Amino acid sequence: MTMKIDLHSHTYYSDGHLSPAELVLRAHQMQLDVLAITDHDTTQALAEARHAQAQEKRHLEIISGIELTTRWHGFDIHILGLHFDEHDEQLQQRLLEQTRTRVDRARQICVKLAKCGIENVFDDAMVKVGQGQITRAHIAQVLLDRGEVSSFQGAFTKYLGKDKRAFVSAQWIDIATAIQWIHEAGGVAAIAHPASYDMKTKWLKRLLSEFKSLGGDGMEVTHPNMQPSKKELLTKLALEYDLKAVVGSDFHFPSRWSELGKRLDISAKLTPLWQDWPCLASFNKEYL
């Protein structure tokens, strides 16, 4: 038996579409053994997910997770925090800072949209957000619902993407701070989707080298739709910079091209970030 593991997923507490209970159900349907829920800058989904799992007969190990947004040389770099104490008071206080940054940025984006003639987007977006974190995905959905753009992607290419008409560069924490927050809550830190930052390999190497020297633990090395050549590059870089491997689908909602736990196998040369997690001891004996 091999273990099926997915360490990157979202719920409707950030920009995912499923509730925590629906995500847990889907994880069972996809025969996952281990699932980390990594919403943008919040751990709100975890309690509900654990409650849902408690009603299930089939085992599923739910790992605490988060995807912290950071700023590095003009890039928004996402740092996954995994396997930490989600009840850590200090961490929860610190996360309120990121929530404020998210709300402030969303307001500024909506001011820019109003200047383009698209009024009152903020309130509509907040209705979609509910109890969770506001993201550009919520704003994109409002623009799509109103017919201001013809596709979700179009909202980014026209307004919300980097340097587009309603782009706002936010005051995110830096990478060192993200690593510190995660470590002080007892977890490990990994760079999310290193291949998707639209930077030259030279810059990516600089990012990985700096992340490692700041105490970073791992990096994602694969994604369900990743080309083999990209995967080879990330494998090589993880070995070169001595970063442990993380696998995750970055699941936001069920679709033709995204699913939990699919095509996430990695090279045997890599060290899995989860190899010494006590909760996975029985799995790891067979997996490694």
Neighbours of 116 (CB within 10 A): 12
User: Do residues 40 and 69 make contact, with C-beta atoms less than 8 angstroms apart?
Assistant: yes
Nearer to ligand AMP, 152 or 276 (CB): 152
Distance of CA 100 to the CA centre of its chain: 18
Looking at 102-110, 114-122, 186-194, 203-211, which segment touches Mn ion (CB under 5 A)?
186-194
Collapsing DSSP states into helix, strand and coil, what is residue 222?
strand
Nearer to Mn ion, 190 or 280 (CB): 190
For the segment 235-264, give every residue that binds ligand AMP (CB under 6 A): 252
Nearer to ligand AMP, 253 or 287 (CB): 253
Nearer to ligand AMP, 42 or 135 (CB): 135
Angstrom distance (rounded) from CA 86 to CA 58: 23
175: CB partners within 8 A, 6+ apart: 70, 72, 77, 79, 210, 211, 214, 216
Q: Report the partner that residue 69 touches, choosing among ligand AMP, Mn ion, none (CB closer than 5 to 8 A by kind).
A: ligand AMP
The count of chain residues that interact with ligand AMP, using the rule CB under 6 A, is 10
Angstrom distance (rounded) from CA 270 to CA 288: 11
Q: Does 15 bind Mn ion (CB under 5 A)?
A: yes
User: Do residues 91 and 100 make contact, with C-beta atoms less than 8 angstroms apart?
Assistant: no
Looking at 30-38, 79-87, 133-141, 204-212, which segment touches ligand AMP (CB under 6 A)?
133-141
User: Do residues 236 and 227 make contact, with C-beta atoms less than 8 angstroms apart?
Assistant: no
For the segment 151-210, give every residue that binds ligand AMP (CB under 6 A): 153, 156, 161
For the segment 70-129, give every residue that binds ligand AMP (CB under 6 A): none
Angstrom distance (rounded) from CA 132 to CA 129: 6
Q: Report the partner that residue 264 touches, choosing among ligand AMP, Mn ion, none (CB closer than 5 to 8 A by kind).
A: none
Q: Report the partner that residue 71 touches, choosing among ligand AMP, Mn ion, none (CB closer than 5 to 8 A by kind).
A: none
Neighbours of 64 (CB within 10 A): 22
Q: Report the partner that residue 136 touches, choosing among Mn ion, ligand AMP, none (CB closer than 5 to 8 A by kind).
A: ligand AMP
Angstrom distance (rounded) from CA 202 to CA 2: 36
Q: Does 40 bind ligand AMP (CB under 6 A)?
A: yes
Nearer to ligand AMP, 39 or 61 (CB): 39
Collapsing DSSP states into helix, strand and coil, what is residue 133?
coil
Minimum distance from residue 152 beta carbon to ligand AMP (Å)? 6
Question: What is the CB-side half-sphere exposure of residue 63 using CA atoms within 13 A?
Answer: 28
The count of chain residues that interact with Mn ion, using the rule CB under 5 A, is 5
* Residue number closest to Mn ion, CB atom: 78
Looking at 130-138, 172-180, 229-237, 261-269, which segment touches ligand AMP (CB under 6 A)?
130-138
Q: Does 105 bind Mn ion (CB under 5 A)?
A: no
User: Do residues 283 and 34 make contact, with C-beta atoms less than 8 angstroms apart?
Assistant: yes
User: Do residues 243 and 216 make contact, with C-beta atoms less than 8 angstroms apart?
Assistant: yes
- Chain residues binding ligand AMP by CB under 6 A are 15, 40, 69, 135-137, 153, 156, 161, 252
